[in-house]
Amino acid sequence: MRYAMAIDLKTCMACAACIVACKVENEVEENHSRCRVTQLVSGEFPSLKLELLSERCNQCAEAPCVANCPTGASHYADGGIVLVTETKCTGCKACIAACPYDARFINEKGYAEKCTFCVQRVRKGLEPACVSTCPSRAMIFGDLDDPASDLSTLLSSRRHRPLSPEAGTRPHVFYLE
């Protein structure tokens, strides 16, 4: 099993429903979020190009946050999801320094927090909260090891790329072009 996510650049509206659903589902503290929506504008008015990126932890297969964690709090869980065990976390922030995607933060309790692919939902067979609410249905979640999953078929039929692959972490959130 290898969980991954695909996000359709063509239909994402940068509405941030994903951020809000995530905050409510995961009781993320008021001044933090586990995900973000970035808008990139290039070109000159009126010939502009707008890229909308709904971003979160990429659940990297070679996750430097895990490698750099001095206590083993950051670890790989089933399906390749990277998680933090709170009782082991010292709040040393090595993982934050190590993450090329600015996907983590320290919460008010002093622990490193990040997107968990909503493991509490996924283990119950539900989709992550952001995926299940996305009004554009731009987010697709699934098992890469299952060639019949919607995710696998989509990735095999459409051009896609991860963010900053040069960072060398083998990210598992893919953007459909």
Partner 1 sequence: MERRRFLQIAGGSAAGALSLGGWLLQSDAPEAPAESRQVAGFCELCFWKCGIHATVENGRVVKVEGHPEHPLSRGRLCPRGNAGTGALYDPDRLKRPLIRVGGRGSERFREASWEEALSLIAARMQAIKARYGPEAMALFTHGHGGSFFSHLLKAYGSPNVAAPSYAQCRGPREVGFQLTFGTGIGSPENTDIANSRFLVLIGSHLGENMHNTQVQEFAEALRKGARLAVVDPRFSTAAGKADWYLPIKPGTDIALLMAWANVLITEELYDKAYVEKYGEGFEPFRQAIAADTPEWAAGITEIPAGTIRAVAREMARQKPNVLIHPGRHVTWYGDDTQRSRAIAILNGLLGSWGRPGGFYFPSGATVPKYPVPEYPKPARGTADGSGSRYPLADETLASGLCDATITGAPYRAKGWIVYGTNLLQSLPDPRRTLKAIQQLELLVVVDVLPVEIAGYADVVLPEATYLERYDDLYAGTFREPFVALRQPAVAPLYDSKPGWWIARELGHKLGLAAYFPWNNIEEYLDRRLKGMNSSLAEMKKKGVITYAAQDLYLGPDHKFDTPSGKVEFYSALLAQAGFDPVPRYRPQAEGPPGYKRLIFGRSPLHTFGRTTNNRVLASVVRENEAWISTSAAAELGIRNGERIRLVNQEGIRSNTVRAKVTKRIRPDCVYLVHGFGHKAPKMRAAHGRGASDSDLVSSFAVDPIMGGTGMFVNFVKVEREA
Partner 2 sequence: MLEQSSVGAALGAHIWGWEIAVYLFLGGLAAGLMVVSGMAHRRAQPPPDSLAIWGPLLAPLLLSIGGLALFLDLEHKLHFFRFYTTFQWTSPMSWGAWILAAVFPVSALFALGFRGRRMSNLYTALGAALGIYTGILLGTFGARPLWNTPVLGPLFLVSGISGALALLALVEREESARARLAALDLKLIGVEAGVLALLLIGLATGGAAQRTAAHLFLGGPYTALFWVLVVMIGLAFPAILELLHKRGMAQASVYAPVLVLAGGLALRAVVLLAGQASGWRVS
Task: Assess 35 for contact with partner 2 (CB under 8 A).
Answer: yes
Say whether residue 90 binds partner 2 (CB under 8 A): yes
**Cβ-contact 38, 53 below 8 angstroms:** yes
Q: Roughly how many angstroms between the first and final C-alpha of the chain, as a whole number?
A: 25
79-118: contacts with ligand SF4 (CB under 6 A):
82, 84, 89-95, 99, 101, 103-104, 112, 114-118
CB-count exposure of residue 134 (10 Å: 0-12, 13-18, 19+): buried
Q: How distant is the alpha carbon of residue 52 from its chain centre? A: 15
Spatial distance between the Cα atoms of 28 and 46, rounded to a whole number of angstroms: 38
> Can you tell me the distance from the alpha carbon of 36 to that of 18, in angstroms, rounded to the nearest whole number?
8
Q: Which stretch binds partner 1 (CB under 8 A): 54-62, 85-93, 95-103, 165-173?
A: 85-93
According to DSSP, residue 33 is labeled -
- Out of partner 1, partner 2, ligand SF4, none, what residue 119 binds, judged by CB under 5 to 8 A for its kind, is none
Single out the segment in contact with partner 1 by CB under 8 A; choices: 59-67, 93-101, 128-136, 143-151.
128-136
Which positions lie near ligand SF4, rule CB under 6 A?
7, 12-18, 21-22, 25-26, 34-35, 37, 54, 56-60, 63-65, 69, 71, 73-74, 82, 84, 89-95, 99, 101, 103-104, 112, 114-118, 128-130, 134, 136, 138-139, 169
